[in-house]
Amino acid sequence: MLFKLNSFHDKDKYTRVKKSTLSEIGWKEKDLERLISNNIDDFICESDLMTIFTERQGQEEPDVLALDRNGELYIFELKREEGKQENLLQVLRYGQLYGNSDYDDLNKLYKKYTKNEKADLSKEHTSRFELAEKVEKNKYNATQHFLIMTNGIDQKTMEAIQYWKKVGLNIDAIIYWVYKIGNESYIEFNTFSNDKEKLLYENKCYILNTDDSNNHKHHSDMLNEHKAAAYGERYKEKIEKLQNGDIVFLYQSGKGIVAYGKADGKLNRLEDRGIKENEYNMHLTEFKKALVPINAKRIKELTKHNMVFVQTMFTVSYEIASILTAEIDNQNKTDIP
């Protein structure tokens, strides 16, 4: 996350720099592949790596293959967009395809990558890492490491990575963010963290209808129990989208936004009106109620956007969310004499 600091006045304030994506700035995944493969030791701080192969168009191949100084193989899957669970399956699939590759197989790949039939992987590897002795050929690819590189990551993917790491798989995510400031584009890399207090996925902001027009108890329960909930098929599954830290505004039909909080990321399935698991909900932390509901007219005045509240749940920008949370926070302020 990148913030612009004020240089002169109001130094206690900041401006959040808007994120972009590689696709928005006209980049293709092949462009990202070239950037990473040609500068891999600048972007991967944990290990000094040597690129030995990049994907060929139309082939079932990993985006980048690289070796570390011990000859261990690193398999990369690069994405222009946010990481999803299927990215893990894809990179693990490449592990199946290349996990048994011996030195001769890797050397053939290296020749294709360098477009030099005389290239000698062992010689180049020894020179690249300034080794006193060559790595024995039977030691190459003794261990594989799996890396997905994505523009942000969702919580389910993060939890899946934590699980696979727990059972001994060498898998990680390298997260990057793209920023566009004026006419210039910037990219920032952060490596995956197991610390849940240092989440690397991008939080989102939602407005959720409290279902008051259909069932007033649903509305009351959300406010009293500090939760975001949805009911019935086609609706309850929307709660599964919420991730730890996402901001959720509760909207009462005909009234306006009545509260907000942050999702805790733990999905609960409850019985509702005698139907098993008819309610999906998630607890909202840092919960605040609006003393006066923010109606559609007031929302338009504050955000300069004319919102249509017809969906059960929809996203809003971080900028709009900041305005709405500030409005509720200001309502809750009390003057201390």
Same domain for 186 and 307? Answer: no
N-term to C-term CA, the chain: 37
In a domain, residue 337? The reply is no
Q: Is 207 a residue whose pLDDT tops 60?
A: yes
Q: What is the pLDDT of residues 265-279, one digit of tens each?
A: 899 999 999 999 999
Which is more confidently placed, 224 or 98? 224
**What's the whole-number mean pLDDT along residues 55-68?**
79
Same domain for 185 and 263? Answer: no
Q: How confident is the model at residue 335 (pLDDT cuts 50, 70, 90)?
A: very low
Q: Quick check: 257 and 326 in contact, CB under 8 A? A: no
In a domain, residue 23? The reply is yes
Which is more confidently placed, 88 or 193? 88
Domain end, chosen from 198, 214, 235, is at 198
Same domain for 78 and 117? Answer: yes
Same domain for 91 and 129? Answer: yes
Q: What is the pLDDT of residues 149-180, one digit of tens each?
A: 888 777 777 788 888 888 888 888 888 888 88
Domain end, chosen from 148, 168, 198, is at 198
In a domain, residue 66? The reply is yes
Count of domains observed in the chain: 2
**pLDDT value of position 200:** 47
Q: Is 56 a residue whose pLDDT tops 90?
A: no
Report the predicted TM-score, pTM, of the whole model to 2 decimal places.
0.58
Q: Is 309 a residue whose pLDDT tops 90?
A: no
CATH number of 121's domain: 3.40.1350.10
Domain end, chosen from 173, 198, 223, is at 198
**What's the whole-number mean pLDDT along residues 126-134?**
88
Same domain for 237 and 97? Answer: no
Same domain for 184 and 236? Answer: no
In a domain, residue 237? The reply is yes
Q: Is 101 a residue whose pLDDT tops 60?
A: yes
The angle, 0 to 180 degrees and rounded to 10, between the axes of the packed helices 318-332 and 296-303 is: 120
**Range among 42-46, 138-142, 333-337 rated most confident:** 138-142
Q: Domain limits at 101? A: 3-198
